[in-house]
Amino acid sequence: MNKNSLTFAAAIISAATIHAASPVHDRVLEYVPAPGQFVNTLPEWTQGDDATVMAEKAYAASTQSMITLGAYGGYMIVGFDHTVVNVDGKRDLYIEGNMHSGGSEPGVVMVAYDINDNGLPDDNEWFEIRGSEYDNSQPDYECTYYRPESDDDDIRWTDNQGGEGYVSKNMSHSQPYWPQWLADSETLVFRGTRLPDNGVDQSGQGTYFVLSQFDYGYADNAPNIANGSWNEDAKIDIDWAVDSKGNTVKMPGVDFVKIYTGVNQYNGWLGENSTEVCRVIDAHVTQEGSNPVLDETITIDQSVLDAFLAAYGNGSSSITDINNSNLRIYFDPATGCANFNAVASGLAQVYNQGGTMLYSKTFAPGDNSIDLSRYPCGLYLIHIDGKTTKILKR
Ligand SMILES: [Ca+2]
Ligand SMILES: [Ca+2]
Ligand SMILES: [Ca+2]
Ligand SMILES: [Ca+2]
């Protein structure tokens, strides 16, 4: 059974238990900062702490004070004790940072719905939040940091765009900048979107940098509070989620949030641009502040969930590298058709498990349907241009 068929039963059980759901993230699944001047102090690493202990410390620090994500790419992944619902026309996630005027350090936000209900964010469950700088950003960016010979050395990085530089040690922070629980790794590699530089040297001499705020869609970018309330500019609308090609994805809600430092810039004595994160909060509350209260009257829109699962759910499968892109095929139980979107024309064939060909037809670029409505439920093999995947008719 999966959670999508258990919604009603779960609602009955949760009504009978004492604990109300919390709007604040209730765990940190991964904490992997890039090197930086607050790494090993926010939160503090002590001898013997491994990645599991540091994720627990990151949870405590993020809910009680703050954590650093270090330089470009450093990240954390959080989970909740409930699904944060995507409410139409409203921003759904409120992310606290330590932004003050002239000190924006934007973090890219990614969101995941636990499609396969395994309690973990799987690679194919993530979608990026398309913030205001999406079209000015470098996609598919990769940055590699090299462990220094000595803890006193600056930390060198290179990227996949021909760039290189250093995370420089400074006088104020003498501790190692390399995450000490990852001391066995010779390199740390981070991949994602690189946001445009937002630091401007007002002095012209590298002594006074102002880090300007982006319009919307990032963590640690806007002040937490505006006019005495949670700042709308520090909130994220799940409707901003896009797939890897930039197409809007209508998600029913979010079970996991990933935040990573999105700018790769060194700002004089301020040091590297590094995102800080505190609490990640379901914005649908009846009470804001330090003890927010979840609005439990808000529920997932079943039609949005059904459409999302039809497009991305368990019935879908994908074939990699057809005309240099992934081709996703999904079965729509309402029509009995297997649907896919092709970038070029080709040949589609369907076989049953006995090896009998049921269908063979050329297709055109764009949306295509293979009608399986007259065949029984079960597993089918689909060949697209000689490559094969399986699809489950339900
Ligand atoms: Ca929304
Ligand atoms: Ca999952
Ligand atoms: Ca910072
Ligand atoms: Ca900050």
Q: How many domains does the chain have?
A: 2
Domain check: are 99 and 204 in the same one? yes
Say if residue 197 is exposed, middle or buried (CB neighbours under 10 Å; 0-12, 13-18, 19+).
Answer: middle
**Is the same domain home to 214 and 333?**
no
What is the spatial distance between Cα 272 and Cα 68, in angstroms, rounded to a whole number?
12
Which of 118-122, 248-252, 315-319 is least confident? 315-319
Entry pTM: 0.79
For residue 184, tell me if it sits in a domain.
Answer: yes
Shared domain for 293 and 324, answered yes or no, is: no
In this structure, the answer to whether residues 207 and 337 fall within a common structural domain is no
Of the listed ligands, the closest to the CA of 97 is 4
Bridge partners of 235, per DSSP, are 94
Decide if 258 is inside a domain.
yes
Sheet of strand 346-352: strand arrangement: 357-363, 346-352, 378-384, 387-393
Asked if the structure places residue 306 within a domain, the reply is no
Sheet-wide strand order for 93-95:
235-236, 93-95, 280-282
Task: Round to whole Å and give the CA distance between 230 and 150.
Answer: 43
Instruction: With respect to residue 308, please indicate whether it lies within any of the assigned structural domains.
Output: no
CATH number of the domain that residue 345 is part of: 2.60.40.3080
**Model confidence pLDDT, tens digit, residues 14-25:** 444 456 699 999
Model confidence at 5, pLDDT cuts 50, 70, 90, reads very low
**Among candidates 135, 192, 119, 134, which has minimal Cα distance to 159?**
192
Query: Does one domain contain both 106 and 231?
Result: yes
Number of residues assigned to the chain: 394
Q: Which residue has the tokens 């996703």?
A: 328
Q: Which ligand is nearest to the CA of 88?
A: 1
Which of 298, 327, 358 lies at the terminal end of a domain, its last residue?
298
Its domain, for residue 343, covers: 315-393
Confidence label for 290 from pLDDT (cuts 50, 70 and 90): very high
What the block records as the tokens of 344 is 């070029």
| Residue recorded with tokens 């005027």 | 101
Q: Of 24, 91, 22, 79, nearest to 55 (Cα)?
A: 79
* Of the residues 270, 298, 326, the one at which a domain ends: 298
Statement to judge: residues 225 and 292 lie in one domain = yes
pLDDT at residue 352 greater than cutoff 90: no
* C-alpha 97 to ligand 3 mean position (Å): 9
- For CA atoms 371, 374, 376, 380, the dihedral sign is negative
Which residues line ion ligand 4, judged by CB < 5 Å? 98, 105, 220, 276
pLDDT of residue 4: 52
Contact 284, 85 (CB under 8 A): yes
Q: Which ligand is nearest to the CA of 86?
A: 1
Q: Are strands 199-201 and 235-236 parallel, antiparallel or unpaired?
A: unpaired
- Regarding whether 249 and 144 lie in a shared domain, the answer is yes
Q: Are residues 240 and 382 in the same domain?
A: no
Give 253 Cα–ligand 3 centroid separation in angstroms: 29
Percent of the chain with pLDDT over 70: 91
Residue 353 within any structural domain of the chain? yes
Amino acid making up residue 89: G
In the reported structure, the alpha carbon of residue 244 is separated from the centroid of ligand 4 by a whole-number distance in angstroms of 27
Nearest one of 256, 387, 240 to 318, comparing CA atoms: 387
Count of beta carbons in the 10 Å neighbourhood of residue 258? 21
Q: Mean per-residue pLDDT for 243-254?
A: 95
Ligand 2 center to 255 CA (angstroms): 9
Q: Which tops the pLDDT comparison, 10 or 54?
A: 54
Domain end residue (candidates: 239, 263, 298): 298
Distance 120 CA to ligand 2 centre (A): 4
